[in-house]
Structure 1
Amino acid sequence: MPIDRFLEARGEKRVRWLNPPERGRFIADPFGAQIDGVTHILYEDFRYATSKGVIGTIEAAATGPPRIPRVAIELPVHASYPYLVVDRGEIYCIPETNASREIGLHRAVVFPTRWEKIGTLVSGVAALDPTVFRHEGRWWLTCTDRDVGENMPLFVWHARNLEGPWEPHALNPVKTDIRSSRPAGTPFVHGGILYRPAQDCSRMYGGRIVINRVVRLTPTEFSEEPAATVEPFSEGPFPDAIHTLSGVGEITLIDSKRHRFVPSAIPYVLRNRPVPARDRTMAHRMERG
């Protein structure tokens, strides 16, 4: 089902669920590319024992079970949200690596398992869910910033070329709304209008998805309005939240979650209890001196 179908409030949306990983792990943030009729999915593969995610990959056929998962990208820091971009015949991955305080650009050497880092799009930002797309002759990058509010202020950069240089939007942060700021997958155009999936974290992190209709996007202007919402699939095996909507041709990748007790996750949860944004900002300033 193509991603624009999620603009419809009604209509059956059939989901083919993949089997969850064993306890002590979770997988999330699916993005994909279709090569020679095969859908390759990249995703975050997180292990509580190491408190670190790597980027995994799996082939998913239209029928039958998916192939055995493999590691696509493993970095010294936690990696997630492996956003994929195709530009001039090359495939790029822009994973979230907020601990490194940069947004790196990786080019596929042998897709999907061999990559080389070729540059940094933006540095000095603890970017969350960096999302890159083309619109009206420019490249645009959207994300939130862990240091100033994980789920509320939305930041935008723009560039003429994917490799940069990237310039900050004149209004940064362009909006602050816990219900519809943090990116949630691939923007798309339908009926000549640009739409941007975002997370509604007002109830919980990734509680549901809001699809925003972008009204105005220029280097000096930004406005958008809610156009549709995507609720968790309550009748499915993962009914508690949904936070990624990723278009790949005629199919759409989603991730959902269910709540369950995982003993091995207790140390990770205690280490990562939420810290008020003001305290994080002050601590960051102290580190900078």
Structure 2
Amino acid sequence: IRDTFGWAIGIYEGDDQFNFTPKRGVKVPTFTADKVKDIPAEFVADPFLVEKNGLWYLFFEAMNMKTFQGDIGVAISKDLNEWIYQKIVLDEPFHLSYPYVFQWEGEYYMIPEVYQTNSVKLYKAKDFPNHWEYVDTLIYGDQFVDPSVFYYKNRWWMFVATTKNDTLYLYSSELLTGPWVEHPQSPVVKNNKRIARPGGRVIVDGESVIRLTQNDEYHYGNELKAFEITELTETTYQEKPWREESLLKSNGKGWNKNGMHHLDAHRIGANQWVAAVDGHRNRFLFSLKY
């Protein structure tokens, strides 16, 4: 008997960035591993959305059962309801996940998790969304996971954890390509699996900056919480819980029975938000030995 995690992706909607429910008229999970056709995918997770010219692009980790490592895939939708899988767009000799895709100065970039390389790497779209090329290594020296960047007050910032899931580091840079320097108050979270590991795109909405964090205290991928950054300069950092209750969590049944750990929220209008989320339930695979 082998116990595995059945991660899948859902599309949610809400009237603000913290009040999400499954999108009306769309089944959940919305995108599952069986829709990936060019590799044998065990699960899909870590979804990130990008809107371009009226189309929505969904980037995600697809766990390749043949190589036992993650690859980055993409699907496309006109309405956020029906998703058409395209292909694996990034495959490296090492594990890839958490494809943090964003636009900057007319170009599209991706910062995926590449913890097996002991670094954080930057990629750029050569032909969006299908072809990506390596640009540079931003930081190195540890098994970094879930690097999450954002631009705020004329400076780039990066939250990143490590495979221990209990420490959150903060880096910044004047330029996207670096040099990146660690903040003097980093690590900003120490020895706390409840609030350390990033859980999706940092939400910058006007002056408001919200970081999302997994609660991995009892098991990986348990629930998602939010923290508001109340002070952020090159020398100071302060934050507070956005609210005590979870932003996303298991409902005890269905596709996300055992937990949720990721959200990528986008404003699409006044009091209108959409988000890509993921969730999982334990799957038990039985095999007979002769």
Q: TM-score interval w.r.t. the shorter chain?
A: 0.7 to 0.9
In the TM superposition, residue 135 of structure 1 has moved relative to its aligned partner by 1.4
What is the rounded CA distance, in whole Å, between the counterparts of 1:87 and 1:138 in structure 2?
13
Q: How does 1:208-287 map to 2 (within 5 A)?
A: 208-228=223-243, 229-232=246-249, 234=251, 236-250=254-268, 251-262=274-285
Equivalent in the alignment of 1:135 = 152
Gaps of 5+ in 1: 265-289
Q: CA deviation at 1:206?
A: 1.6
CA displacement 1:90-143 (0-9 Å, x = unmatched): 000001000011111110011111011111111222110000101121100111
CA RMSD of aligned residues (A): 2.1
Equivalent residue letter for 1:255? D
Matched, 1:124 2:124: no
1:48-63 pair list within 5 angstroms: 48-62=65-79
State how far apart, in whole Å, the 1-side matches of 2:140 and 2:96 are. 16
The 1-side partners of 2:17 and 2:218 are apart by: 21
Structure 1 counterpart of 2:43, one-letter code: F
**2:31 touches 2:83 (CA, 8 Å); kept in 1?**
no
Task: Please give the alpha-carbon distance, in whole angstroms, between the structure 2 residues aligned to 1:87 and 1:46.
Answer: 28
Q: What is the Cα deviation at residue 175 of structure 1? A: 1.4
Moved more, 171-180 or 125-134: 171-180
Instruction: Describe the SS at the equivalent of 1:5.
Output: coil
Q: Which moved more, 1:255-264 or 1:92-101?
A: 255-264
Is 1:5–2:16 an aligned residue pair? yes
Q: Distance in 1 between matches of 2:249 and 2:86?
A: 25
Take 1:104 and 1:112, find their aligned partners in 2: how far apart are those partners?
18
Classify the secondary structure of the residue corresponding to 2:256.
Answer: coil
Aligned to 1:171: 185
Alignment counterpart, residue 145 of structure 1, candidates 155, 158, 162: 162
Letter of the structure 2 residue corresponding to residue 21 of structure 1? A
Partners of 1:60 and 1:233 lie apart in 2 by 26
Mind listing any 5+ residue stretches in structure 2 that lack a counterpart?
1-11, 35-39, 269-273
TM-score, normalised to structure 2, is 0.82
Q: For residue 22 of structure 2, what is the aligned residue in structure 1?
A: 14
Distance in 1 separating the partners of 2:13 and 2:256: 21
> Residue 33 of structure 2 contacts residue 62 of structure 2 at CA under 8 Å; is this kept in 1?
no
Q: 2:126 aligns with which of 109, 113, 116?
A: 109
Amino acid aligned to 2:214: Q
Secondary structure class of the residue paired with 2:193: coil
In the alignment, which residue of structure 1 is the partner of 2:168? 154
Mean CA deviation greater in 231-240 or 94-103: 231-240
Identify if the C-alpha distance between structure 1 residues 190 and 236 changes in structure 2 by more than 3 Å, giving closer, same or farther: farther
Partner Cα separation in structure 2 for residue 3 and residue 233 of structure 1:
18
User: Structure 1 or 2: larger helix share?
Assistant: 1
**How far 1:232 moved relative to its partner?**
2.5
SS at match of 1:219: coil
The 1-side partners of 2:86 and 2:267 are apart by 22
Contact 1:139 1:162 in 2 (8 A): yes
Paired residue total: 258
Indicate the structure whose relative CO is greater, using CA pairs within 8 Å and at least 6 residues apart.
Answer: 2
Q: Distance in 2 between matches of 1:75 and 1:165?
A: 24
Query: Is residue 58–residue 76 contact of structure 2 (8 Å, CA) maintained in 1?
Result: yes
Superposition pairs of residues 65-84 of structure 1, within 5 angstroms: 65-84=82-101
Structure 2 counterpart of 1:152, one-letter code:
D
Look up the SS of the partner of 1:175 in the other structure. coil
Give how far 1:219 is off. 2.2
- Structure 1: how far apart are the matches of 2:219 and 2:74? 27
TM-score normalised to structure 1 length? 0.82
- The AA in structure 2 aligned to 1:194 is V
